Every structure is written in structure tokens, then in C-alpha cells.
Amino acid sequence: MTALDTIRASVEPELEAYENFIERQFTADGELLSEMLHYALTSRGKGIRPLLVILSAALNASVKGAASGRRTCLAAMLVEMIHVASLIHDDVIDESDTRRGRASVNARWQSHKAVILGDYILARNMAIGLQSGQFDLVNHICGAMATLCEGEVEQADCVDKQQMTRRTYLDIIHKKTACLLGVSASAGALAVSATRDRVALMGQFGEALGMAFQIQDDMLDFRTDTHTGKPACNDLREGKITLPLLIVLERVDETRRAELLERLGRCHDDETSVEYLRAIVANEGGLDEAGRVMQEYIARAVGLLSEYEDSDYRKALIDLCRFVTERDR
């Protein structure tokens, strides 16, 4: 399996500069807010988005060392803090008690404080961005917040109505996940003054990678042998129709579809229904077909990198694509 630490090694000094930047910028007044902020920022997980910013900057930089400059660190911070805040809010919405193997912010400090912390992180993030004077980066990145919210609302509406189509599912995961990864990759190129065409190309790369990332996430939710830090089949308990289940629903007749959706509606309180649907998805090809769709997006992402000459940074981005398909967390 491709190790994320190996990928990070190619930009280790740049990542260190970014972490130092975060430490200097993200502070809070008051004991409780400081404690909550520290808790959230020390459980940021894999750091895919800032890594993508920095690798893209390194790949597109015309001057050595530009990828560790202030603009790159700022871009990496902006995308990562949007992501961190969105996860805090997401855990409140989903009433999740765990995040990455430990108590979620809402489980530890209650939901109303978690919402305030997420809002504080977004507000502080925007303030730092505006104070930097790097308005091109702020404008480029922060529009992703609205897109992410659109995806959340669209998904919530689908849960309420128990309705989902392939087109709607792909639109939702584009807004919820792929958009911010696309912005991460394009912001890295923008941070080092790459051409407009290169910025756009990196955006397309990040979006394709993001689509694959979310599909893999949805597949992992059906598996019991993962290390995600969350209980298996949480999406079923929340009434979400993700690609593995959607594929099964597309293949069955109306009577069978109604029966499966009725089971889905009981998953919040009925573990028997959860296990029933998990087994159906595994046995009727939902995971296999979802994996094929994921690989199509990965192939597109890798193909876009053919525009660049061979380098350690191009190789690291290809390895990142491989990591997305192989990860179990």
C-alpha cells in the first residue's frame, strides 16, 4: 500500500513551514475556546487538502522554494480550515459521537459549543485571509464554502425524500468533497503564479481526485475491516443513499426497491436492517461497481498529470491518487 508519509516526504520542508504558519495564525482568547480550538486542530487527520496545495505549488513553481512561501502556506491554511470547520458542523448535523477514533467536538463540549467553534474557525480563517492582502487567493478559495453548503442541503433533502439518482449523487459529492479538493490543487498553482491554463488543469485534477476520494469514503462505510475511526455503516443509519447502495437500487425492480428503501428507513434504530443492507450491497455488486466508477476518476486524474514532465512532485501526486484507492481509513 502507498504510504502517505512517503508522499509527504517530497515536500517535508514545505509542510513544516505550513504547520508553523498555522500555529502562529490560529490562536484564541479565553481558556475554553483555546482548549476547543487546540483539540480540533490536533485531530485534523490525513491533511490531504494542504498536501495537495503544496504539491501543486511545487509542481508549478518556476522558482525553487516558492512552495514554502507565505502565499502557499496561506492557501493551504484557507482550504484546510474550511474543511476542519465543515467536519465539526457535520458531526453536529449527523449527531456523531466520534471523529477519527476519539470523541467529536460536539460529544465532548455539546452541540451548541461545537457550532460556535466551527463558526469561529471560519471567521478567523476569513479574517487572516483578508488581512494578508492576497485577495486573489481568498476569492479563489472561499467560494468553495457556499458550494459545500449547497451539497449538504441537497443531500439532506434527498435523505428526507428517500430519493437519489446517479446524477444527483455525483452532483452532491462534487459539491461536498470534490470542489474543495479541486480548489486546493488549483490554489497551489495560483499561489506560485502559474498560468491560467495550469491553474485550471490542476483544478480539474483535484476535482477528479476528489470524486474518487468520496466514492472510496462511501465504499469504506460499508466495510467492517477499516480504520476510519467511525462505526461501519453510519451512512445507512443516517438514511443516506450513497453510490454502493444506489447501484443496487438501480438494478432492482420497483417492488424490490421499495422494500430496500423501507429497510433503509428503519436503519436508524434497527441494526438488523443495517446488516441486511450491508450484505445486499456486498453480495449484489454494489461495492464492485462503485470501485470501477472510482477507478475511472482516478484514471482521469492521472491522465491530466501527463501535461507535466516527470518530477518528484508529479510522482508524489500520482502516488496520492494510488493512496486514495488503497486507503482503509
Quick: pLDDT tens for 110-137.
Answer: 899 999 999 999 999 999 999 999 999 9
Question: Would you tell me how many other CB atoms lie within 10 Å of the CB of residue 60?
Answer: 25
CATH number at residue 289: 1.10.600.10
What's the pLDDT tens digit per position in 72-113? 999 999 999 999 999 999 888 888 888 878 888 899 998 999
Q: Which of 21-35, 219-233, 304-318 is modeled with the greatest confidence?
A: 304-318
Backbone angles phi, psi at 270, to 5 degrees: -130, 100
The 3-state DSSP class for residue 228 equals coil
Give the chain's mean pLDDT. 93
Domain extent, residue 120, equals 4-326
pLDDT at 133 (0 to 100): 95
The percentage of the chain sitting over the pLDDT mark of 90, rounded to a whole number, equals 80
Would you say residue 227 has pLDDT above 60?
A: no
Asked whether the whole model's pTM tops 0.85, one would answer yes
pLDDT at 74 (0 to 100): 97
pLDDT at 90 (0 to 100): 86
- For residues 230 and 193, which has the higher predicted lDDT (pLDDT)? 193
pLDDT band for position 254 (cuts 50, 70, 90):
very high
pLDDT band for position 226 (cuts 50, 70, 90):
low
Q: Give the three cell numbers for residue 287.
A: 461495492
| Average of per-residue pLDDT across 154-174 | 95
Q: Give the three cell numbers for residue 216.
A: 472510496
pLDDT at 95 (0 to 100): 82
Q: What is the tally of structural domains in the chain?
A: 1
Would you say residue 28 has pLDDT above 60?
A: yes
87, HSE (Cβ side, Cα atoms, 13 Å): 18
pLDDT at 1 (0 to 100): 64
Q: Which amino acid makes up residue 7?
A: I
160 CA to centre of own chain: 23
Would you say residue 67 has pLDDT above 90?
A: no
Would you say residue 224 has pLDDT above 70?
A: yes
H-helix or E-strand containing 102?
strand 102-103
Q: Which of 142, 106, 112 is nearest to 127 (CA)?
A: 142
| Average of per-residue pLDDT across 248-268 | 95
Cβ(71)–Cβ(137) below 8 Å: yes
Task: Give 4-8 contacts, CB < 8 A, sequence gap 24+.
Answer: 4/46, 4/323, 6/319, 7/51, 7/55, 7/316, 7/319, 7/320, 7/323, 8/51
DSSP state of 163: -
